[in-house]
Amino acid sequence: IGVGLVGFGLFFLLFGILLYFDSVLMAFGNLLFLSGLVFIIGFRRTFTFFFQRPKLKGTSFFFGGLIVVLMRWPILGMLLEAYGFISLFR
């Protein structure tokens, strides 16, 4: 179930970008991606991954970008999410 949710999340994100940053598709993709991540590695491990002390800056940018996308500013939100994603996984 988790791999399917992550796959559909990535599909909706890419499809939202291809349709000139459609905010509804991108928000749906983000929510599916995060819920799939929780299904794959579990709630506790997901929470501890995102809220570690050294990764707090990347987490705040990632979730801030998610909120900005939900507020229908998709380009700015995706830029914030991309920076947060890079900060989380470097």
| 43 and 8 both lie in a single domain | yes
Q: For the whole model, what pTM was predicted?
A: 0.89
Q: What is the pLDDT of residue 89?
A: 87
Q: What is the pLDDT of residue 16?
A: 93
Q: What is the pLDDT of residue 22?
A: 92
| 58 and 45 both lie in a single domain | no
Nearest C-alpha neighbor of 68 from the set 19, 23, 10, 16: 23
> Residue 7 is encoded by which pair of tokens?
């796959």
| 43 and 66 both lie in a single domain | no
| 57 and 40 both lie in a single domain | no
| 24 and 40 both lie in a single domain | yes
Alpha carbon distance 10, 21 (integer Å): 14
Count structural domains, the chain: 2
| 84 and 42 both lie in a single domain | no
| 38 and 56 both lie in a single domain | no
| 40 and 60 both lie in a single domain | no
DSSP 27-44: HHHHHHHHHHHHHHH-HH
Nearest C-alpha neighbor of 34 from the set 79, 74, 72, 81: 81
| 85 and 68 both lie in a single domain | yes
Domain that holds residue 40: 1-50
Per-residue pLDDT of the chain (90 residues; tens, 9 = 90+): 999 999 999 999 999 999 999 999 999 999 999 999 999 999 999 999 999 999 999 999 999 999 999 999 999 999 999 999 999 988
Q: What is the pLDDT of residue 33?
A: 95
